Amino acid sequence: GWSLLQVTGTGWSQTEGDPDPGSLEITNVGGFDGYSWGRTCVAVSELTQYSFSYNLKKDGNSVQYPILISWIDWYELPNCAGSESIHALYEWVPFPSVPADVWETHQRGTTTSMAGAVSAMVVLGMDHPAAGLATLYFDHVVLASDPTLFLDGFETGDVTLWSASVP
C-alpha cells in the first residue's frame, strides 16, 4: 500500500529488515533536488490519540547531506482525500545524526487526530541534494491507537499475574 515519489530505487528490499527481512527502501541516486519518500494512507478515528514509530537504517555508502523526514497528515475523507491537517509529529534529522548500517527505532511520540479525521497519510523519506547516492530503509512502521504495553491487568492494579520472585 505504499506509493513512492521521486524514488530511484526499487521501493522494496527483500533482504533488509528489522525485525524480519523486507523493508521500505527509499533511494536517491542524484540528478534532482527535492524529496524522495514513500507514503501510505490508513483509516483512523477522529480525536483519538495515536503513537507513531518506525525502525530505520541508513546505508553506509550514503552521502551525508540528506535529511531524514517523517510526518502524519490527518484527512476528513477516506483514502486521504479532502482537507488535510498540518504535519503531525514532523521529524527532520540531518543524516550525520543517523548511524550507518545499524537499525534504530524512532519513537516519534503521540498525537491526537483532528476532529472529523477518518484517514491519515504516513510519510517517510528524505530531503536531498541534486548529487550523491543516499538510501534509507524503513521497517516496523507503527501508527497505533492503543500503545498499551501490558494486557494482563497491570495498568488497572490487578497484579495477580505478576510476581516479585526470580525463577
d(CA 56, CA 59) in angstroms, rounded, equals 10
Side by side, which strands form the sheet with 23-28? 12-13, 23-28, 134-144, 49-58, 104-112
**Is pLDDT of 88 > 60?**
yes
Say which residue, 35 or 107, is predicted with more confidence.
Answer: 107
**How far is residue 103 from each of residues 6, 27, 39, measured CA to CA in Å?**
24, 17, 20
Q: Of 10-14, 39-43, 63-67, 95-99, which range is least confident?
A: 63-67
Say what the pLDDT of residue 141 is: 93
Say what the pLDDT of residue 163 is: 61
Torsion angle in degrees (nearest 10) through CA of 129, 134, 138, 143:
0
Q: Name the band, by pLDDT with cuts 50, 70 and 90, for residue 158.
A: low
d(CA 126, CA 16) in angstroms, rounded, equals 18
What is the per-residue pLDDT across 45-64, written as a single tens digit (0 to 9) for each?
999 999 999 999 999 888 87
Q: Write down the residue that cell numbers 478515528 correspond to.
A: 45
Share of the chain above pLDDT 70, in %: 81
Average pLDDT over residues 72-98: 88
Average pLDDT over the chain, rounded to an integer: 83
Please check whether residue 72 is in contact with residue 120, taking contact to mean a CB–CB distance below 8 angstroms: yes
**Is pLDDT of 32 > 70?**
no
Average pLDDT over residues 123-147: 84
**Is pLDDT of 155 > 70?**
no
What is the per-residue pLDDT across 101-118, written as a single tens digit (0 to 9) for each?
999 999 988 999 999 999
